[in-house]
Homo-oligomer: A and B are copies of this chain.
Amino acid sequence: MKNAVKKPGPRFRMTPQRAGILRLLEGNKSHPSAGDIYRRIHKKFPGLSFATVYNTLQSLIALGELAEIRIDPRRSRFDPATTAHSHLMCVECGSIADLKAPPQPPLPKERPSGYRILRCNIEFYGVCPACGKKPGNKEKKSCMKTRQK
């Protein structure tokens, strides 16, 4: 208790499970959900539990190695690319594409007094090329009502 100043925060201890999760995430552009990650990792490590996936993801986020993105209303998605950029989600299939960051976060001119603004999310929703080609989607102006499974 005396030497509490000592620790610079918990270290990240590499384990086979974490190595597997890291390998899956590295360079991954699919923006998987925690469930996606669990299902894929679980094939290699049948004993690996959901809690481990969530714990590892939280650790990586705390380390700044992973970003949690909330463009999908149904679940968190995770992005190993942590440089500033925004996302475009297909409302049909749920796939997420990367976008270059808009040059300026558009700060509102009329900001409520007393608020401290911390950050800003910009998210785009649309239809991906594959889903746009599917029959029945050609004429539609909008398809926000269709929910992906």
Interface residue A139 (Cβ < 8 Å from any Cβ of B): no
Do B86 and A112 touch (CB < 8 A)? Answer: no
> Number of A interface residues, CB 8 Å?
40
A96-149 interface with B by 8 A CB criterion: 97, 99-100, 102-104, 106, 108-129, 132, 142-144
Do B123 and A121 touch (CB < 8 A)? Answer: yes
Known: A117-B88, A118-B126, A118-B127. A112 touches B97 (CB 8 A): yes
Contacting residues, chain B, for A102 (C-beta < 8 A): 106, 108
Interface residue A23 (Cβ < 8 Å from any Cβ of B): no
Do B109 and A106 touch (CB < 8 A)? Answer: no
CA distance A73 to B124 in the complex (A): 16
Residue of A106, A117, A142 with most partner-chain B CB within 10 A = A106
Q: Which residues of A contact B (CB under 8 A)?
A: 70, 73, 76, 86, 88, 90-91, 97, 99-100, 102-104, 106, 108-129, 132, 142-144
Other A-B pairs beyond A90-B115, A120-B125, 11, CB < 8 Å: A73-B76, A88-B112, A97-B112, A97-B115, A100-B108, A100-B110, A103-B109, A106-B122, A115-B127, A118-B125, A121-B124
